[in-house]
Amino acid sequence: MPTYEYQCECGVQFEARASIANRDQTKPCPACPEQGKPIPPSGVHGHFKKEVTGPVPQNTGIHDLDTKIDRVIGQSSHQGWEVAEGRKRMKQEVMHREGVTGHDLSKNLDGSYRVLKPEERGLHERSQAIHQAAGERKKPKG
């Protein structure tokens, strides 16, 4: 049953449930013994009770909205893959030009890549060894 807004002569605005057929009838005011009259709604409220069925496009019940959401998701995914492919190409170009592997590269703040200096590479390897050892200590024995 829908909820409608009412206003009493005493100034109190309140909500009450009513059938569509009885929407225009007055309702008792919660603050005084008078009756409140129906007023135009201040907003429209609603929600969808839709269960998510898995990794498929969801149906909200509003075709136009579903179409726009699907389009935005598709565009975002496409742009994300383009960015990832661009980074991969840039990294491969530096590796080919410098004759190094991906383990020898560092990503700069601007997204470009550079070759690690030998001392940086050593620090990186020591840090990886520490992290690996810490991870092995946390593993349950069994």
Q: Report which residue type is found at 91.
A: K
> What residues in the chain have per-residue pLDDT under 70?
45-67, 138-142
The verdict on residue 87 lying in a domain is: yes
Beta-bridge partners for 49? none
The verdict on residue 28 lying in a domain is: yes
| Predicted TM-score (pTM) of this structure | 0.42
Q: Are residues 77 and 33 in the same domain?
A: no
The verdict on residue 14 lying in a domain is: yes
The verdict on residue 45 lying in a domain is: no
- Give the chain's count of helices (H) and strands (E): 2, 6
Domain that holds residue 26: 3-38
Q: What is the pLDDT of residue 114?
A: 92
Q: What is the pLDDT of residue 135?
A: 82
Considering its fold, how many domains does the chain have in total? 2
Q: What is the pLDDT of residue 3?
A: 87
Q: What is the pLDDT of residue 2?
A: 84
As a whole number of Å, the CA-based R_g of the chain is 32
